[in-house]
Structure 1
């Protein structure tokens, strides 16, 4: 696997009915394995509102009982009826033989994506303002740093930035603080900036050799420059995003 994400499938809408729409924001092959973002849009809070909705997302090969479970992390932007669910599956031998299945009690039925068949043309309610890519530096970095692109709904923009390193303590505190209560002068190891769009939600996770950052911004009205940054490695990438 290279350090640049490979797009296995572009964004698709899985369910669209009055009051509910479920989409995935592209299925990516990344240095850490398969990754996708589910986007659940609704006009009012789901019937079973929870701080972390109980999503079950897995990959399975038809005809077998074996499955690779994702580790979904759900987040929402204040005053917007949208949930983003970032799903990391880990490494799988051959994605082209698998189904991705999504379950939640607020869905009328499980939704499935057949990775063995081509994606339907024009079957996505979501769009990329910037394609998935990697952060690159001037020398040989002991890490792979990639982002899932900029995923746009009508009113919001989401991104996921992730770094994996084989060198211990690259992302460890106290040098890099993951806490939302970090003091002034203690930056996150990973960051995303979309000036002048307003940041609505940002969450960091990680360990001494892994770090990820998920962020939700208001969608820009005009073209704007978006920057992903990995401070411990001195890496940054800027792309123009359409409004």
Structure 2
């Protein structure tokens, strides 16, 4: 009986290849199958572009299998479920042959990662490992040159604005908006209306060659944008 392969979720960081961990680079330099989802057939995978220098240096790059299932940018749960199911089936075919599969994802596989949808479908039948990566929020803080939190401060990571925002802004000291493109001018007005002293920075394409740091909110809000908001609350 063929021993099943292992599924490894690998965080490839925010964009700069040099921010890959040594462990991630070592695995990617020899694993036989890499899964790199993309949002549409027409678009290239950003995660794959990050690891490109590593796989191009492989002596066996001609035999390396790269899977690129489509994970569309939609809020329709039924459509998403179908694509997650399809990707899981494709990956399981290789795992059943005894081949390890690396599923690469931007940032860290434990934080708002597409890997989680495949992991939930496969972890009961296969060995699953996760390799952490540098997150967008910590990379952005490094680009800005400021700490995210100090002492007893509370950090909140927000992917989308909903009715919890008021309590988050009240209780939190530092806010990370992971996907500002989802949010409207209403959020900016809420934050600007807060009387506490605060700093707001947005980073577009963090750690990449065309990285852009903006004091305040990004007006264009491209996909790879993270906004950091830090309040100076006297109680801390």
TM over 0.5: no
Query: Which structure carries more relative contact order (alpha carbon 8 Å, separation 6+)?
Result: 2
More strand by share: 1
